[in-house]
Structure 1
Amino acid sequence: MSFFQNTCKPKGIGGKIMVNMMNTGHSSMAEWGFTHIEIRNNYICLDIGCGGGANVKKLLAKTPYGKVTGIDYSEISVIKSQKINKAEIENRRCEILQGNVMKLPFGNETFDIITAFETIYFWPDINEAFKQVYRVLKGSGTFMICNESNGENSKEEKWTKIIQGMKIYNSGQVKKSLEGAGFTDIKIHKNEKGWLCVVCKKDKDVN
Structure 2
Amino acid sequence: MSFFENTRKPVGFGGKVMTAMMNIGHKPVAHWGLQFLKVSSNAKILDCGCGGGANIKKLLKKYPHSIVNGIDYSIVSVEKSKKVNNEAVAEGRCTVMKGNVMNMPYSATCFDAVTAFETIYFWQDLPKCFCEIYRVLKPGGTFLICNEVSGDEAKDEKWTKIIEGMTIYKDTELKIYLGQATFRNIQIRKKNNWLCVTAEK
Q: What 5-or-longer segments of structure 1 have no aligned partner?
A: 203-207
Matches within 5 A, 1:147-166: 147-166=147-166
Q: State the partner residue of 1:69.
A: 69
CA positional deviation for 1:39: 2.9
The question of whether the paired residues in 2 share the 8 Å contact of 1:109 and 1:139 is answered with yes
Q: Distance in 2 between matches of 1:105 and 1:53?
A: 19
Q: State the partner residue of 1:82.
A: 82
Q: Distance in 2 between matches of 1:13 and 1:94?
A: 25
Q: Distance in 2 between matches of 1:61 and 1:105?
A: 25
Aligned AA for 1:133?
I
Q: Distance in 2 between matches of 1:182 and 1:113?
A: 16
- TM-score, normalising length from structure 2? 0.99
- TM-score, normalising length from structure 1? 0.96
CA positional deviation for 1:158: 1.3
Q: Distance in 2 between matches of 1:20 and 1:58?
A: 15
CA positional deviation for 1:186: 0.2
Matches within 5 A, 1:31-180: 31-180=31-180
Q: Distance in 1 between matches of 2:153 and 2:75?
A: 32
Q: State the partner residue of 1:22.
A: 22
Q: Distance in 1 between matches of 2:39 and 2:80?
A: 24
Q: Distance in 1 between matches of 2:173 and 2:115?
A: 18
Deviations 1:149-180 (A, max 9, x none): 10111111111111111000000000000000
Q: Distance in 2 between matches of 1:121 and 1:41?
A: 30
RMSD: 0.7
CA positional deviation for 1:133: 0.3
Runs of 4 or more, structure 1, over 6 Å off, are none
Matched, 1:187 2:191: no
Alignment identity in percent? 53
The question of whether the paired residues in 2 share the 8 Å contact of 1:150 and 1:196 is answered with yes
Q: State the partner residue of 2:198.
A: 199
The question of whether the paired residues in 2 share the 8 Å contact of 1:40 and 1:62 is answered with no
Q: What 5-or-longer segments of structure 2 have no aligned partner?
A: none
Aligned AA for 2:161?
K
The question of whether the paired residues in 2 share the 8 Å contact of 1:10 and 1:74 is answered with yes
The number of residue pairs the alignment matches comes to 201
The question of whether the paired residues in 2 share the 8 Å contact of 1:190 and 1:197 is answered with yes
